[in-house]
């Protein structure tokens, strides 16, 4: 695992360096859909990360946001799950909330997660069963046990204008129940900030494995809880996630039950 950890950290830092260097010049921007952009930096970072992984682990498969399932091997024993730039809209607008997310899934279980936020030089790392750290210092979820005292985070899918299942109902319900809700624009960072106690909880719909694989492990290793909206066990391939410090989890499940069906 030590070799894998070194590769993940080195790749995340290298991609973060690219993001910082190009922050004032994102280059050509294309669109997957009307409001879902891809910048040159997304592609440069993904190429850098995949190259570093493949040089050390040529037989490992990779599932990455921009290139998808490399070599058709995404069902292999060792699978890297990569989001080269989580928070692309933020990055393209110069809003300083974005990161690199890299996870290693081994035989169907995420065993390693690394997230690097170059804006604040924050490196989050978790290994299964070994806890979570921020810049090598142990982190833990918050001790707040009341939803009305909680600061929560969420996000919205790119089909918000077309789909009735758009999270606006849950957003409104939580605003009435908690201290405040934030929408930073990076699910990976929302999970990290839940893990370290800046947020008490986070929920979102229609995410992908690369959005949550590393962050979910970091939350769990920091003592938090991850489930589906109804409180049932969650996998990184689900299209919904509820993360919390554990203390406000059931209260959050209760609020989510007030909203529309989470089926997508």
Q: What is the pLDDT of residues 189-206, one digit of tens each?
A: 999 999 999 999 999 999
| Number of CB atoms found within 10 A of residue 250's CB | 13
SS (H, E, C) 193-213: HHHCCCCCEEEEECCCHHHHH
Residues of the chain with CATH 3.40.190.80: 147-256
Distance CA 75, CA 72 (A): 8
Q: How confident is the model at residue 264 (pLDDT cuts 50, 70, 90)?
A: very low
Residues of the chain with CATH 3.30.540.10: 2-138
- CA 43 to chain CA mean position, Å: 18
Q: How confident is the model at residue 213 (pLDDT cuts 50, 70, 90)?
A: very high
What backbone torsions phi and psi does residue 52 show, to the nearest 5 degrees? -70, -40
Q: How confident is the model at residue 188 (pLDDT cuts 50, 70, 90)?
A: very high
Say if residue 15 is exposed, middle or buried (CB neighbours under 10 Å; 0-12, 13-18, 19+): buried
| Number of CB atoms found within 10 A of residue 140's CB | 15
What backbone torsions phi and psi does residue 67 show, to the nearest 5 degrees? -100, -5
Distance set, CA 149 to CA 59, 119, 176, 199, 227 (Å):
48, 28, 12, 11, 21
Mark 186-195 as b/e (b = at least 16 C-beta within 10 Å).
Answer: bbbbbbbbbb
Q: Which residues contact 141 (CB under 8 A, 6 or more apart)?
A: 194, 195, 196, 197, 200, 219, 222, 223, 224, 244, 245, 246
Q: How confident is the model at residue 263 (pLDDT cuts 50, 70, 90)?
A: very low
Quick check: pTM over 0.75? Answer: yes
pLDDT of 234-262, one tens digit each? 999 999 999 999 999 999 999 999 986 44
CATH class of 2-138: alpha beta
Distance CA 256, CA 264 (A): 15
Q: What is the mean pLDDT of residues 179-196?
A: 98
CATH architecture of 147-256: 3-Layer(aba) Sandwich (3.40)
Q: What is the mean pLDDT of residues 75-102?
A: 93
Q: What is the pLDDT of residue 141?
A: 98
């Amino acid at each position: 695992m030590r070799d894998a950890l070194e590769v993940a950290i080195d790749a995340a830092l290298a991609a973060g360096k690219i993001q910082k260097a190009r922050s004032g010049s994102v280059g050509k921007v294309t669109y997957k859909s009307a409001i879902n952009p891809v910048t040159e930096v997304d592609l440069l970072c993904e190429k850098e990360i995949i190259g570093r992984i493949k040089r050390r682990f040529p037989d490992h498969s990779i599932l990455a946001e921009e290139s998808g399932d490399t070599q058709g091997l995404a069902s292999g024993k060792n699978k890297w799950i990569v989001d080269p730039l989580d928070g692309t809209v933020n990055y393209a607008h110069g809003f300083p909330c974005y990161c690199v997310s890299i996870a290693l899934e081994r035989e169907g279980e995420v065993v390693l997660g690394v997230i690097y936020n170059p804006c604040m030089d924050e490196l989050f790392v978790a290994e299964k069963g070994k806890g979570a750290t921020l810049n090598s210092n142990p982190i833990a979820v918050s001790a707040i046990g009341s939803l009305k005292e909680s600061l929560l985070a969420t996000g919205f899918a790119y089909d918000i204008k077309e789909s009735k299942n758009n999270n606006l109902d849950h957003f409104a319900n939580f605003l009435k129940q908690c201290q405040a809700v934030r929408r930073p624009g990076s699910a990976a960072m929302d999970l990290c900030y839940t893990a370290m106690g800046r947020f008490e909880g986070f929920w979102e719909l229609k995410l992908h494995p690369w959005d949550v694989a590393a962050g979910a492990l970091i939350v769990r290793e920091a003592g938090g809880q991850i489930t589906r909206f109804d409180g049932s066990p969650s996998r990184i391939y689900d299209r919904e996630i509820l993360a919390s410090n554990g203390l406000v989890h059931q209260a959050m499940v209760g609020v989510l039950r007030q909203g529309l069906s989470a089926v997508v």
